[in-house]
Amino acid sequence: MTLRMEKVSKVFRDGPNEFKALDNVTLDVKEGEFIAVIGPSGSGKSTFLSTAGALLSPTSGAIMVDGRNIEKLSAKKKTMLRLEKIGFVFQSANLIPYLTVMDQLRVVNVLAKNKQRYETEEELLRHFGLGDRLKNFPSGLSGGERQRVAIARALINDPKLILADEPTASLDSKRGRQVVEMLAAEVRDRGKSGIMVTHDERVLDLCDRVLMMKDGQLVEAATVS
Ligand SMILES: Nc1ncnc2c1ncn2[C@@H]1O[C@H](COP(=O)(O)OP(=O)(O)OP(=O)(O)O)[C@@H](O)[C@H]1O
Ligand SMILES: [Mg+2]
């Protein structure tokens, strides 16, 4: 099991006010499984991804990533776990403006001390159709190209778990579908696990399971009517 979440809740406190953004979320994600999470704005989807990816600590419950209980890890070990096991794709590509396409990937390898590598940065970028964009800066790329660089960056350390928050949000439907097809192929062909938050119902057929977030609760979408 790549990811196991057991009765995970997340409460945000703001003075006397409490808000339960995640309510008793239980989920197992197997190798090779690609899961979509849908749900209304404010329902807790991004909070769920950040918690699954050890960016946010849960208020209660247990989270295991690749067999390790992340709650027990020090901040430093959590950072290493994210570098080695998890690939994040954020809604806006979040590229570093002053680095070229190649250097966006290299910086991850430097941080991870080159412990693991997918393949070379260049091979990975070619795989995503960016072979002739290696020396471009983000400002010289189209939205779709930026998003593909962000995905390549998320994959360069060969992570077990890919977490993508609306990776197609800034793309037209054709490009959006291509990006999701690439993520799905990566998960299946390389035995990874993927969770993608999306508002785009037209890409759900590319996923193995569709889950729905509603008021912080995660349920199978098929059971929602
Ligand atoms: N750091 C925080 N402090 C307080 N409340 C927060 C915090 N982060 C998120 N929330 C609240 O938790 C709820 C869930 O937020 P979240 O970002 O997970 O929603 P979402 O489903 O991703 O929405 P969207 O589709 O708009 O991105 C929202 O009501 C939000 O205001
Ligand atoms: Mg969100």
pLDDT at 224 over 50: no
| 19 Cβ below 6 A of ligand 1 | yes
How big is the chain by its Cα radius of gyration, in Å?
17
| 47 Cβ below 6 A of ligand 1 | yes
Nearest CA to ligand 1 atom 3: 12
Q: What is the pLDDT of residue 143?
A: 84
- The band of 225, judged by pLDDT with boundaries at 50, 70 and 90, is very low
| 21 Cβ below 6 A of ligand 1 | yes
Cα angle: 30, vertex 32, 33; to 5 degrees: 60
| 167 Cβ below 6 A of ligand 1 | no
Parallel, antiparallel or unpaired: strands 3-14 and 60-65: antiparallel
Q: What integer is the mean pLDDT of 193-212?
A: 95
Looking at residue 60, its amino acid is S
Residue 166 alpha carbon to ligand 2 centre in Å: 8
Residue 46 alpha carbon to ligand 1 centre in Å: 7
- Domains assigned to the chain: 30-54+74-223 (3.40.50.300)
Q: What is the pLDDT of residue 187?
A: 94
Q: What is the rounded distance in angstroms from the CA atom of residue 70 to the CA atom of residue 137?
A: 35
pLDDT at 74 over 50: yes
Q: What integer is the mean pLDDT of 43-53?
A: 95
Q: What is the mean pLDDT of the chain?
A: 90
Atom of ligand 1 at shortest distance to CA of 12? 4
| 50 Cβ below 6 A of ligand 1 | no
SS3 readout for the chain: CCEEEEEEEEEEEECCEEEEEEEEEEEEECCCCEEEEECCCCCCHHHHHHHHCCCCCCCEEEEEECCEEHHHCCHHHHHHHHHHHEEEECCCCCCCCCCCHHHHHHHHHHHCCCCCCCCCHHHHHHHCCCHHHCCCCHHHCCHHHHHHHHHHHHHCCCCCEEEEECCCCCCCHHHHHHHHHHHHHHHHHCCCEEEEECCCHHHHHHCCEEEEEECCEEEEHHHCC
pLDDT at 18 over 70: yes
Nearest CA to ligand 1 atom 28: 42
pLDDT at 60 over 50: yes
| 198 Cβ below 6 A of ligand 1 | no
